[in-house]
Structure 1
Amino acid sequence: MSETVPETSSIADREIVISRIIDAPRELVYEAFTEVRHLSQWWGPEGFTTTTRSFQFAVGGEWVFQMHGPDGTDYPEWIYWTEVVPAERIAMLHGEYRGDPNAFESVLTFEALGGATRVEMRTLFPTKEQRDEAVEKYHAVEGGQQTLGNLDAYITDGVRKSADN
């Protein structure tokens, strides 16, 4: 009995990969992803704000929140943490609500580069069509780049300066 392994191209057709180098130590960048007091300050694309309903950062924990768009539209969000390797890797299922059939998987990795950190966000959608819709309708690539840009600004302008004092 042979196991069916998806072809690489089928995964590539369903995936978005975004990365950024942030001029801060890996532990500090990781902390900004794992503590709600930080997440709520920078999460989301430019112009968006976040209201957290509940937050438990641990494998099996959830982050239930609402993103508020600059046009006043509210977006329900739900994240379920599936893997946590402190300061190295976070894996999650991300949808609009628990049990969302369109939820997608994301893996964040944190690579130390001297005093800086390379953050990579790999998002895998259930289908190519869902990935394409996220890219075309929701501007997922630009939104992801802006989100990591917001993280960079938050850490280098705020958190790191207060940590250095």
Structure 2
Amino acid sequence: MTTTNSGDEAGDAAADREIVVSRTIGAPRELVFEAFTRVRHLSRWWGPEGFTTTTRSFEFRVGGVWDFVMHGPDGTDYQEWITYTEIVPSRRIALLHGESRDDPNTFESVLTFEPADEETRLVMRTVFPTRELRDEAAEKYHAVEGGEQTLRNLAVYVAELTGNGTASKGADD
């Protein structure tokens, strides 16, 4: 599991509750960012390997909601709810993510899109309400591997859009 600490007081407090996954993607950050902004993109790459996504509603704006179901390869359905709390085009998306609007175990995620020459460094930082919830997400739901697979799926999808066969490099590639 990758965890980091920003070095500030807030970062210190969250260090034992966070998971950080990152990947360098072989496309400009505007395109990588756009892949998060429309259902037609998200439905093609969102989720770990073998998962599909059905969207019930989607509104990409601050205060907007993405209500969807992730279908696991074993047939299990996972109810998901995202509320967008901050959007800085091509730079940053902050959101709350849970199973429903009132989920007491909702976690916060911040995605940052950093230019890296002709590529984009995407960092997905997730902070859970407690260390126990972080550990459960990592151990029971394989959140680190799932996050890495999701970003790999994004990289492959963006490579298809650009016609570029070399999509990206993960943190361990």
Same fold (TM over 0.5): yes
Letter in 1 for 2:94: A
**Cα-Cα RMSD:** 1.3
The yes-or-no answer on 1:40 pairing with 2:43 is: yes
The yes-or-no answer on 1:50 pairing with 2:50 is: no
Number of residues of Structure 1 aligned to a counterpart in Structure 2: 156
Q: Which residue of 2 aligns with 1:120?
A: 123
What's the CA shift for 1:159? 1.3
Query: Unaligned stretches of 5+ in structure 2?
Result: 1-8, 165-173
What's the CA shift for 1:66? 0.2
Distance verdict in 2 for CA 1:6–1:108, change over 3 Å: closer
What is the TM-score normalised by the length of structure 2? 0.88
Supply the distance in 2 between the matched residues of 1:24 and 1:143 (Cα, whole angstroms). Answer: 22
What's the CA shift for 1:161? 2.2
The yes-or-no answer on 1:20 pairing with 2:9 is: no
Supply the distance in 1 between the matched residues of 2:78 and 2:126 (Cα, whole angstroms). Answer: 19
Stretches of 4+ moved more than 4 A in 1? none
What is the TM-score normalised by the length of structure 1? 0.92
The yes-or-no answer on 1:82 pairing with 2:85 is: yes
Larger C-alpha radius of gyration, 1 or 2?
1
Letter in 2 for 1:66: V
Residues 6-47 of structure 1 deviation map (CA, whole Å, 9 limit, x = unaligned): 671x41110000000000000000000111110011000000
Residues 94-117 of structure 1 deviation map (CA, whole Å, 9 limit, x = unaligned): 000001100000000000111100
Task: Percent identity, please.
Answer: 69
Supply the distance in 2 between the matched residues of 1:72 and 1:160 (Cα, whole angstroms). Answer: 32
Q: Per the alignment, in what secondary structure is the counterpart of residue 101 of structure 1?
A: coil
What's the CA shift for 1:160? 1.3
